[in-house]
Amino acid sequence: MGQLFRAVALVSLVNVALLPLTCLAQAQPSAAFPSRAIRIVVPFPPGGTSDILARTIGQKLTEEWGQPAITDNRPGAAGNIASDFVAKSKGDGYTLYVNTVGTHAINPAIYAKLSFDPLKDFTAITNLVNLPSILLVHPSVPAKNVKELIALAKRRPGDLLYSSAGSGAQPHLTAEMFKTMTGLKILHVPYKGAPPQMIALISGEVALTFATAPSGVPLVKNGQARAIGVTSAKRIPALPDVAAINETLPGYVAVGWNGLMGPAAMPAPVLEKIHSTVSKIVRLPDIRDKLIGLGAEPALTTPAEFADLIKSELVKWARVVKDSGAKLD
């Protein structure tokens, strides 16, 4: 019996001795993170809103953490290629994702089958910005406002073409909402991402487009396109003289967002470190001013709030897809 007591005592002493090491191991994910480069996946080509956000935040993360934060553009299938890649990546914090209303709220409604679950296969970190879109026309289009555009399109049904960043992407569905509420016949021309969508407009290949504000504001300011409306409920600071479409077409509001996610099963300490650092970056005066100047509204959330936003947006955009009858071209 004495030997048994001595054995139990020895095990207890070993456990006590190992306790600090156990605590250290539990703290390690946050304390050591990041110890190598971070990958920020973008679901579209360089130059669009998601890309601008990834590079802006990535530069600051590099400065904060002393590790490279590298933007990884993976365009295709309206963002589904990037979403699938992130969903299948390890949830260790080294793969982050600038997701969109399109990738996580519209695509599940418009694609019959996806290789990922927009909620279960990801870790919500924070919403970053809310994004109104701008209704842009080529300078040769005679319409100076929404009322004139509607009148022009009704006189020439089927003649006006509009570009989007891809079938099922936010600009596509935003235009389909506009078509549904006005009864207009304007024809959709999908492109692979925001940059070719914009090039099609400024080259005159199409007459109009709905562009997220950060992609569209620079074109307006340099005279390459004319803004005739914004899709938010009210006018935006970046273009105070451009009316909200809602002023002419009551009830028309279509605001997107860009957020930050990671793969599922991200450790809580790592999630907290990423969330706190990114939130700090977005609140920096120079970053905030840059985003507002581009027409993006900083809109940070907790991880739980962002997950709830995605759930509600899934319901909203499923209804938009059904009501519009929008289908993949």
Q: Fold for 132-247, please state it.
A: D-Maltodextrin-Binding Protein; domain 2 (3.40.190)
| Rounded average pLDDT over 131-151 | 96
Domains 35-131+255-324 and 132-247 fall in the same CATH topology: yes
Domain ranges of the chain: 35-131+255-324, 132-247
pLDDT of residue 25: 42
pLDDT of residue 212: 87
User: How confident is residue 272, by pLDDT bands cut at 50, 70 and 90?
Assistant: very high
- Geometric angle at alpha carbon 297, from 220 and 44, rounded to 5°: 70
pLDDT at 203 over 90: yes
**Residues facing residue 204 across a β-bridge:** none
Q: How far is CA 268 from CA 10, 29, 62, 124, 306, in A?
A: 34, 9, 21, 12, 16
90-139 pLDDT, tens digit per residue, is 999 999 999 999 899 999 988 888 999 999 999 999 999 999 999 999 99
Pair of tokens at residue 6: 């001595």
pLDDT of residue 14: 39
User: How confident is residue 159, by pLDDT bands cut at 50, 70 and 90?
Assistant: very high
pLDDT of residue 5: 40
User: How confident is residue 7, by pLDDT bands cut at 50, 70 and 90?
Assistant: very low
13-60 pLDDT, tens digit per residue, is 434 444 444 444 444 455 689 999 999 999 988 888 899 999 999 999
pLDDT of residue 263: 98
CATH class of the region 35-131+255-324? alpha beta
| Rounded average pLDDT over 64-79 | 94
Q: How many CB atoms lie within 10 A of CB 287?
A: 18
